[in-house]
Amino acid sequence: MPFVTGSVRVRVPATSANLGPGYDALGLALGLHDELTASVAADGLQVEVAGEGSEHVALDESHLVVACMRRTFALLDGDPAGLALTCDNRIPHSRGLGSSAAAIVAGVLLARALVADGAARLPDGEVLALANEIEGHPDNIAPCLLGGLTVAWIAGGTARAVRRDVDPAVLPVVLVPPFTASTELARGLLPDTVPHADAAVAAGRAALLVAALTGAPQALFDATEDRLHQQYREPAMPDTIELVQRLRADGLPAVVSGAGPTVLVLARGDAEAARALAVAPEDWAAQRLAVEVAGASVTVDPT
């Protein structure tokens, strides 16, 4: 298999999934990015990691980006003799901001770009499908790839997504706690069934949320009401749920970001963003972020 010479750079955004009632379907790309560079080497594997997670992630074949690169190379019928990978991580790990989705998307895109005809052999729609197979759900994968607001679903066993622009009045604010949460634990707390009334409210709110984010931000508070997952996850993240409740009591459209424990506020303008930032507990990292419009980007640097 022919590989490109030089290096490939990928920039992947943080994401927030669910957004309240849009469980496992809605996702939003955020202006916080990991940047990764990879190149084919004569032999061996070299992995360097700086920033978030640098003290804890593996530097061998079990590194998530490397594993996703290997899987993509195998799909494209080959594997280079050696790899060099450098990761500059800014997305917090295990905080509900899509760090694993970013790593998966980065690995697939890096490998595809390193193969000379990779883009032709693995089109964008198949990148989404492959990344979802690895992640297990497309709600973070889709906005990481496409940017903006995405609605993702599974049809015939294949992940699909549509993208929409977000109203410029919407200003995301993330409140990131000093503690982590396990996605597996958070999912394990969810019941197998919910009352029909709660499901009906969730369906209506999710539909309203798409409308609110794309042109009717005045409806965001009502649109972010959730009855499907957040209250069930309180035992795993009581401080997160308490903060969401406090923010909502103040009229702010606050939700748990993904599986938590980060809190996301979909502020409607500067005044609400400032109020959200002011409420953050002292040891939490509060940050106003832009909506990432473009999604993941790839640059090939020839020798």
Q: What is the pLDDT of residues 108-155, one digit of tens each?
A: 999 999 999 999 999 998 999 999 999 999 999 999 999 999 999 999
At 141 the pLDDT is 98
The confidence score (pLDDT) of residue 250 equals: 96
Mean pLDDT along residues 57-65? 95
Mean pLDDT score across all residues of the chain: 95
| pLDDT score for 189 | 85
- pTM score, two decimals? 0.95
String of DSSP letters for 47-74: EEEEETTTTTS-SSTTSHHHHHHHHHHH
pLDDT at 303: 64
Confidence of residue 1 (pLDDT cuts 50, 70, 90): low
Is a pLDDT exceeding 70 seen at residue 254? yes
C-beta separation of 272 from 172 below 8 A: no
3 pairs with which residues across the strands? 115
Q: Which residues have C-beta within 8 Å of that of residue 271, sequence separation ≥ 6?
A: none
Nearest to 97 by CA among 244, 230, 263, 228: 263
- In this structure, how many other beta carbons lie within 10 angstroms of the beta carbon of residue 270? 11
pLDDT the model gives residue 271? 97
Higher pLDDT, 250 or 79: 250
Q: How confident is the model at residue 191, as a pLDDT?
A: 86
The mean pLDDT value for 4-20 works out to: 96
The residue with greater pLDDT, 182 or 222, is 222
Model pLDDT, residue 184: 76
**Residue-level pLDDT at 301:** 86
- Structural domains for the chain: 7-164+291-301 (3.30.230.10), 170-288 (3.30.70.890)
Task: Work out the average pLDDT over 20-31.
Answer: 97
Give the model confidence (pLDDT) of 181-198 as tens digits: 877 777 788 889 999 999
Tens of pLDDT along 96-107? Answer: 999 999 999 999
Q: Which pLDDT score is estimated for 187?
A: 78
